[in-house]
Structure 1
Amino acid sequence: MSKPTFCVVVPVYRSQATLDRCVQSILSQTVSGGVQCILVDDGGPDDSGALCDAWAARDARVRVIHQQGRGVSSARNAGMQAADSQFLVFLDSDDALRPGALQAALEVQQAYPEDFVLWHYTTRPEDSAPVTTAVESRPRNGLAKLWLDCLLAMPWNKLYRTDWAQQIKFNTQYTLGEDLQFVLDYLALLAVQTPGFCYRVLQSPLTFYDCSRTGTLSTKYHANYCEIWPEHFAKLNAACLTVQCPPADLRQLHRAELTVFAEGVADILRRDPAPLSGIRRDKATAALRSPWLRALLDQMRTERCYSAYYLPCRWRNTQLVYTLAEAKRTNSPLYGKLDWAGYYLLGGRLRRE
């Protein structure tokens, strides 16, 4: 029996309410060569595991792997290693593939066999725009722009060659941002296999991303946030330098990285369980002493790249960082006032674009 064209790997944990929608979106894909679905049940407290088994019992294209509380990265690794297909796609159990998604991705990949195919996504469940194979070509040095356009960091909007993806793994030591590490590792492997590749971005959103849920990694507090993201950004920056991203893109990337880090510092003051008057404030101050942050600020000074967080972080002023982040989070006019005040304190010499 020939291997299917696609395998879709779905990590499953506390997904009772959305799993049927997810699996149905996979099995309803009409695609040349067929599709396999691997559900990796991570042993949640609800009936998700039983639902996985029920799908496998009624559709031979569904395979179930059960494991106990090992986390999403371990689940993806298990599903990826079990895949026996030409291409691999990841999907989260609360999301869904749009009708025609896999066939569109396949047609673009067949048209550009050496390139990396990825696509946009939609957060609107009512989105009924037809899926097309209209594609935008981006060069390899557009890596920073991919991250800035929110197309790089996630694993589920990309088409991987299964045998290549199986040579790498998601890092189970991370609980945040590990997806970016995996994508960068795959791109490094792709550069060896097809050195002249570029990015082919389908303009149609092929994945429905459900951002209505609560309790996700993006909404949880991570005590080591300001330790994890510098590691991810260091790897991203090295990759961007390797492919010689344009200076304008690098400035925007560095500004965005400073924002992510500074807002993580503010989150320590907002949500860390330690007492605010002592350990919590000390922890935020220690984050602002990070060697990675100092190097980033020095690079931004060399680039003449301005950010509202530049001076507060340079001054290691936790209260000012927090005030800025809160003003931005609540859409307060204070953010704009502080932003421009910092710009003029620096003599208006740095680039705001």
Structure 2
Amino acid sequence: MSSNASEDEPERPGGERRNPFDKPSDDAVSQEHSSEGAGEKAQAAGRGSGRGKAKKPRSFWKELPILIGIALVLAFLIQQFLARVYMIPSGSMEETLHGCPGCTPDRILVDKLVYNFTDPDPGEVVVFRGPDAWVGPELAQDESNAVAEFFQMVGSAFGLAPPDERDFVKRIIATGGQTVECCDDENRVLVDGEPLDEPYLLLEGDRPQSPFPKVTIPEGYVWMMGDNRNNSADSRSHNEEGTASGAVPEDAIVGKARLIVLPPSRWGVISSPNPQEEQANAMSAPTWQQGIPLGVGVIAAWPVLKVGRGVASAVGGAVRRDR
């Protein structure tokens, strides 16, 4: 059944029907394009109104205090948990470490991670908090001048001031369970009856070492002595006869002295040969354990490096904007 062509044809505006095979007129095309363009402009305007105004970058002088604060916080965290710089206040560790009143003392870098993975060994130079027998009960409990203590702590944390009076640097001579005494016919300290080989030892004028009776070191403690043997107030000076009160608990050790970092003329690694040569191999930690602190240090260095690069980039950008 044939359809009616006039009924199938769509109506034109104004009641007229349009042939579907006819091309649209130029006016109709332009109207469609104009309506589409208006819609796109309206959408763009809506998106733009939601963004708000762009923030004006801060000047370099406004960002500088923030950058200084970040640097100080990073330095504080590193020195609290990874490594710290200490100033050597006296000559008790000559000639390994230099220190004297009125001169330029050594600044040393102390590794604070190593003893989380290994035990202290004989021959190692360490920084430690002096127990009561070393500092006396008055100094151990003295909290009278909190302000002065705070500034002293900040200064010593960055190696700008002498360490706290309760901080000491000495060399480990014997560890828990060993006996130590001085001296044999050749003026050598004995550990478990065996003489020590101490290449770091300084005896001014070849004076004999001050003798002391045999002491048995309790487990968890170490016996400390200075390299400048006759000018060092160490475990011998704080030990009561018949006791081991001069021994230092291992948990009082802050860390191992690794490097001399200042002054530049004194740069170098701090030697720590084991004076108990025959026992060195048995007492030292396995090689893989000795490498743990170095590996942790390398891993920890990455976030610090990235933060440092971010700070440097921010400083550079702030300077460029401020010009």
TM-score by length of 1: 0.22
- Structure with more helix by fraction: 1
- Structure with more strand by fraction: 2
TM-score by length of 2: 0.23
Q: Could you say which structure has the larger radius of gyration?
A: 2
Q: Which has the higher contact order (CA 8 A, sep 6+)?
A: 2
